[in-house]
Amino acid sequence: MTTPQSASRPASPPRVGLFVTCLVDAMRPSVGFAALKLLRDAGCRVEVPDAQTCCGQPAFNSGDTADAAVLARRFIESFEPYDYVVGPSGSCVGMTRAHYEEVLSNDPAWSERARRLGERTYELMSFLVDVMHYTPTDVKLDSSFTYHDSCSGLRELGVHDQPRALLDKVTGLTLKPLEGNDVCCGFGGTFCVKYPSISNAVVTEKAEAIERSGAQLLLGGDLGCLMNMSGKLKRQGSKVRSLHAAEVLAGMGNGPAIGEED
Amino acid sequence: MEIRSKEFKSRAVFAIHDASLQQAMGKARDGFVGKRAQQAAELPEFEALREEAKNLKNHILENLDHYLERYEDAVKRAGGHVHWARDAQEARAIILDICKRVNAKTITKGKSMVSEEIDLNEALIEHGMEVVETDLGEYIIQLANEPPSHIIAPAVHKTKNQVSDLFEAAHGGPRKTEVADLVNEARQVLREKYFRADVGITGGNFLIAETGSSMIVTNEGNGDLTQTLAKVHIVTSGIERVVPTLDDATLFLRLLARSATGQETETYTTISTGPRRATDLDGPEEYHVVLVDNGRSKMLAGHFRDMLRCIRCGACMNHCPVYGSVGGHAYGWVYPGPMGSVLTPLIKGLDNAYDLPNACTLNGRCASVCPVKIPLPDLLRELRHLQHQQELSPVMQRRALKAWRFVATRPKLYHAGEWIAVRVLKLLGRKGSIRRLPFAQAWTDVRDLPTPEGQTFLQRWQAQRGK
């Protein structure tokens, strides 16, 4: 995968299908609403396909390509009507954009549909910057943050500069670099429960690096990774609060952080 | 060595709680990663070289038979011998035959992962020969009677203190504690062995088809002494290590040291072509190359050809969070880390190494630093696919995936089930988090689980639209 090309901004408001992702839908809808607000602010007409469930990544990464293919076809059918598909997760978008073609490679027609939809499917931060050329205005948050680059977004989709560019426009917010920002947090989907000791060793180191950054906030673009890191930080009694970057950009940075009471 | 990859999980837990291992690993990891990054940044064409190296390797693999035949002819022209070994047993037998024929008593060895792969040392020792590893790291683990834990830094899991202990026990006191003193002590012991050696065995980083040469790179010069001072030089190498020309080898040399140790170049790059000629001052009387297949031609023909591009630099393991946490021994065979997790099941059988392709977060950092761009996560996922097809994965996992697919293709059922799960989790939460959750202890034993907000996104969205 290459970094999405920076084209000129769509002339008329594009019709965007919001790919909520199953974790956001169940665990933290506020990330979905933050995405919705940002996409609207950026000038999109946003719709949310009701029938969306799971993109099939757990099956694909467990070697069950046949079941992943069933879910991939469903996903393609649900989202094909839109100009763009946008999701607040590099991992879920990576699955659809970088892997559906392979998942459906036994069927040339479906594989082609996967490829075409993949070209219009974006991770939220990269869509806002690379496609919509969006700049947040009037967002304030007096705090410091460090940023973890989730692996799929970073390496499958080239998401790195975009969230930083957006967060740079938040008044009062300063970046404190994270040592090993490109190192996996140890989540890895089902990996974290299949190999709990290793996952714990990796996230323990990540939590130490986050503490060393001296930031008040941990931000990222993937809820799975954020739940893993914030869960570790909370268990260790850390004061660092964790939020999805979209929440901060949508002006929800003072709301309850991940794992905090409403 | 006997494969122990089935014990991966327990060995991993053991490693995580081994304080001296963790100390040694932490130091090494930071060093390797930082130095590689600096080298990559300082060479503007580094990324272009990776692409070029990938393409050249693909071309070689496409024409492997041709280049191997050319290589064999060239070795013969230079007065050497080429032996073809289909598997580990054949390779051992060939080398044993040569050693017995020349009545070898002492055998020195440069670093060779292929010799580990074919269990060479055990076979030679069994036949009464003295085998001396001359690479410092290999020498250390030979004293410790352990397998390597890293393909280029075999003793990376050892602390300096442990090395002091080993040397004191093996060489007699006084105990040395400074690195320079330890290195000197090993050097003195080894020097004497070089001169006594009947056979010197090395690996081959590259085999040059145009000249019939073998090329090795080392930082200690031990390989040079091993291959020039013994009466017989035997090169052990996988069939995939051939490159067309010397010029081509330089492309890989530019990538190898930078990727491996973060050096511009290794200290010694040595080219051997045939036995000593009449005009040579020294060199071996016989020169043999043992080309080992051991599963490689099967990889060449199937889905895993990309793996044969590997130039054994170790960057993948240096950048792997799993390897960094558990070290090389947890993997249970000679090749650890991402490349080992692909090679081990392919060489030793999928069922003998179930965990290796699975114990990976698919974060892709390995592939992003691989000098020949091997798509390691894709290959690991492909191995999972084969394991799933052959029903080697846990039956509960396969059933759960089927059930998940069944539910996820029925949105109403899916959202109803999701709603129940969210309600239950909401009830179990205290102050926004769940500290202990039955059936999810793998998560909650070591970290909190956030309580869901309440309604799902789709419920709230539908309610808003209904207004």
Q: What is the pLDDT of residue A7?
A: 67
Q: How confident is the model at residue A262 (pLDDT cuts 50, 70, 90)?
A: confident
Chain A residues within 8 A of B435 when measuring between CB atoms = 235
Q: Is residue A85 included in any domain, yes or no?
A: yes
Nearest Cβ partner for B321 among A71, A186, A196: A186
Could you tell me which of B332, B287, B278, B299 has the C-alpha nearest to residue B149? B332
CATH number at residue B185: 3.40.50.10420
| pLDDT over 70 at A243, yes or no | yes
Task: Give yes or no: residues B293 and B402 share one domain.
Answer: no
- Considering A130, A157, A178, which residue would you say is the last residue of a domain? A130
| Domain match, A162 and A200 both | yes
Verify that A158 and A99 share a domain, yes or no. Answer: no
State residue A175's pLDDT score: 98
Residue B447 lies in a domain: yes
In the block, tokens 């691989």 appear at: B370
Average pLDDT over residues A28-41: 98
**Cβ–Cβ of B456/A191 closer than 8 Å?**
no
The strand pairing partners of A217, in sequence order, are: A145, A241
Whether the predicted pLDDT of A2 surpasses 50: no
In a domain, B119, yes or no: yes
Q: Is B157 helix (H, G, I), strand (E, B) or coil?
A: coil
* Nearest alpha-carbon partner for B201 in B167, B227, B162, B174: B227
Q: Going by C-beta distance under 8 Å and a sequence separation of 6 or more, which residues neighbour residue B227?
A: B110, B200, B202, B216, B233, B270, B272, B284
pLDDT at A21: 97
Whether chain A has a CB inside 8 Å of the CB on B381: the answer is: yes
Is residue B2 a part of any domain in this protein?
A: no
Q: What is the pLDDT of residues B226-275, one digit of tens each?
A: 999 999 999 999 999 999 999 999 999 999 999 999 999 999 999 999 99
Other beta carbons within 10 Å of B395: 8
User: Sheet containing A241-244: which strands, arranged edge to edge?
Assistant: A171-175, A140-147, A217-220, A241-244
Tell me chain B's radius of gyration from C-alpha atoms.
26
Q: Are residues A55 and A150 in the same domain?
A: no
Instruction: Work out the minimum CA distance from B381 to partner chain A, whole angstroms.
Output: 6
Interval B20-36: pLDDT, tens: 999 988 877 778 999 99
Question: Whole-angstrom Cα distance, residue B319 to residue A229?
Answer: 20
The pLDDT confidence band at residue A3, using thresholds 50, 70 and 90, is: very low
Nearest CA in chain A to B439: A193
What is the distance between the alpha carbons of residues A82 and A99, in angstroms, rounded to a whole number? Answer: 20
> Considering the domain boundaries, does residue B251 fall inside one?
yes
Q: What ipTM was predicted for this assembly? A: 0.95
Q: Residue B205 has which token pair?
A: 């980083």
Cβ within 8 Å of residue A199, ≥6 positions away: A186, A187, A188, A191, A192, A193, A228, B446
C-alpha B186/C-alpha B50 separation (Å) is 36
> Does residue A236 form part of some domain?
yes
Distance from CA of B329 to the nearest CA of A (A): 14
B261 and B404 both lie in a single domain: no
CB pairs under 8 A between A and B: 204
Q: Which of helix, strand or coil describes residue B107? A: strand
Do A198 and A112 share a structural domain? Answer: no
Would you say residue A258 lies in a domain?
Answer: no
Mean pLDDT, chain A, as a whole number? 96
The single residue listed with the structure tokens 């000038």 is A43
How distant, in Å, are the alpha carbons of A36, A167, A217 from that of A141?
A: 20, 10, 11
For residue B452, the chain A residues in CB contact (below 8 A) are 26-28
| Number of residues written out for chain A | 262
Please report residues of A whose CB lies closer than 8 A to that of B16: 197-198, 201
Two tokens, residue B398: 């396969």
Q: A87 to each of A22, A90, A103, B404, B442, how far by Cα in Å?
A: 11, 8, 20, 21, 28
Residue A9 lies inside a defined structural domain of this protein: no
Contact B409 A201 (CB under 8 A): no
Q: Are residues A126 and A142 in the same domain?
A: no
**Is A117 part of a structural domain of the chain?**
yes
Cβ distance B457 to A184 less than 8 Å, yes or no, reads: no
Taking contacts as CB-CB distances below 8 angstroms, the residues of chain B near A91 are none
> For chain A, what is the domain count?
2
What's the pLDDT band for A6 if we cut at 50, 70, 90?
low
pLDDT at position A8: 79
Residue pair B270/B71 in contact by the 8 Å Cβ criterion: no
Query: Looking at beta carbons, which residues of chain A come within 8 Å of B365?
Result: 151, 155, 182-184
Q: Quick check: bond before B377 cis, omega within 30?
A: no
Look at residue A23 and tell me if it is in a domain.
yes
Query: What is the Cα–Cα distance from B214 to B205, expressed in whole angstroms?
Result: 7
Our count of domains for chain B comes to: 2
SS (H, E, C) B277-328: CCCCCCCCCEEEEEEECCCHHHHHHCCCHHHHHCCCCCHHHHCCHHHHHHCC
Same-domain status, B216 and B87: yes
> Residues A117, A165: one domain?
no
Mean pLDDT value of segment A141-152: 98
Is residue B112 situated within a structural domain? yes
Please indicate if any CB of chain A lies within 8 Å of the CB of B418: yes
DSSP string spanning chain A?
--PPP--PPPSSPPEEEE---HHHHHH-HHHHHHHHHHHHHTT-EEE--TT----SHHHHHTT-HHHHHHHHHHHHHHHTTSSEEEES-HHHHHIIIIIHHHHTTT-HHHHHHHHHHHHTEEEHHHIIIIIT-----S-EEEEEEEE---HIIIIIH--SHHHHHHHTTSEEEEE-PPTTTTS--S-TTTHHHHSHHHHHHHHHHHHHHHHHHT-SEEEES-HHHHHHHHHHHHHTT---EEEEHHHHHTT-TTS--TTS--
Torsion B36-B37-B41-B42 (CA) sign: negative
**A182 lies in the same domain as A88:** no
Residue in B closest to A102 by C-alpha: B378
Q: Which of A96, A130, A164 is the last residue of a domain?
A: A130
pLDDT recorded at residue A1:
43
Residues on chain A touching B384 (C-beta within 8 angstroms) = 61-63
Please give the structure tokens belonging to residue A253. Answer: 């940075």
pLDDT score of A167: 98
CATH number at residue A187: 3.40.50.11810
Q: DSSP alpha helices (H): ranges in B390-436?
A: 395-408, 411-428
Domain that holds residue B234: 63-297
Q: How far apart are alpha carbons B382 and B374 in whole angstroms?
A: 13
- Does residue A4 surpass a pLDDT of 80? no
**pLDDT, tens digit, 9 for 90 and up, residues A82-102:** 999 999 999 999 999 999 999
Nearest CA in chain B to A195: B359
Enclosing domain of residue A23: 15-130
The pLDDT tens digits for A183-228 are 999 999 999 999 999 999 999 999 999 999 999 999 999 999 999 9
The pLDDT-based confidence of A11 (bands split at 50, 70, 90) is confident
* Residue B430 in domain: yes
Residue B362 lies in a domain: no
Tens digits of per-residue pLDDT, B180-210? Answer: 999 999 999 999 999 999 999 999 999 999 9
pLDDT tens sequence for chain B (467 residues) = 899 999 999 999 999 999 999 998 887 777 899 999 999 999 999 999 999 999 999 999 999 999 999 999 999 999 999 999 999 999 999 999 999 999 999 999 999 999 999 999 999 999 999 999 999 999 999 999 999 999 999 999 999 999 999 999 999 979 999 999 999 999 999 999 999 999 999 999 999 999 999 999 999 999 999 999 999 999 999 999 999 999 999 999 999 999 999 999 999 999 999 999 999 998 999 999 999 999 999 999 999 999 999 999 999 999 999 999 999 999 999 999 999 999 999 999 999 999 999 999 999 999 999 999 999 999 999 999 999 999 999 999 999 999 999 999 999 999 999 999 999 999 999 999 999 998 899 999 999 999 999 999 999 999 998 75
Whether A113 and A176 map to the same domain: the answer is no
| Contact yes or no for A151 and B358 at CB 8 A | no
